[in-house]
Amino acid sequence: MSADTYIPGSCNIGKGEIRRRQVVALIGAVLSAFTLAGLISTSAAPGARLGIFIPLLVASIGWIQSRKKFCLAYGFMGTFNFGKLGQLSKVSDKSAQAADRKTALSILAQSLSLAAILTLIVYLLPLN
C-alpha cells in the first residue's frame, strides 16, 4: 500500500497526517499512563477505573489510524489528504465514498473494542 496515493477504503492520508495520528496516539498513551498511575496510587474503586476508557480510546483511535494510513473522520466526510496538513480533497466517486465509510466504521469499531478490552483489564486489576 502506497503512503502517497488515495486508495478508496484503504489509504486516505499521507505522511504528515499519519504523523499527526501517531502524536495523538502518543498523547492518549501518556494520558492513559498518568490516569493508571493515579488509579493505582489511590487504590481507586473499580467503578472509578472506568474513567480510563476515554484516554485509552484516544490512544486506540490514533494508533489504529496511523497503522492503517486511514483517517476515520475523513472517511466519514468523504475526503482525503496527501498534501499540506488541513488541505483536504473531496472524494467524488460514490463507490469510493462507500468504501471509505465502511473502513471508517471498521476503525471506529476496532478502536472502541481495543479501548474497552484495556479498560476491562484496568477494571479487574487488584489495586487494594
Per-residue pLDDT tens over the stretch 9-56: 999 999 999 999 999 999 999 999 999 999 999 999 999 999 999 999
pTM: 0.91
| Neighbouring C-beta atoms of residue 88, cutoff 10 Å | 16
Please check the confidence at residue 1 and state whether its pLDDT lies above 80: no
Please check the confidence at residue 66 and state whether its pLDDT lies above 90: yes
Distances (CA, A) of 53 to 14, 47, 58, 115, 128: 28, 12, 9, 6, 20
| Residue 103, pLDDT score | 98
Measured between alpha carbons, how far is 33 from 41 in angstroms, rounded to an integer? 12
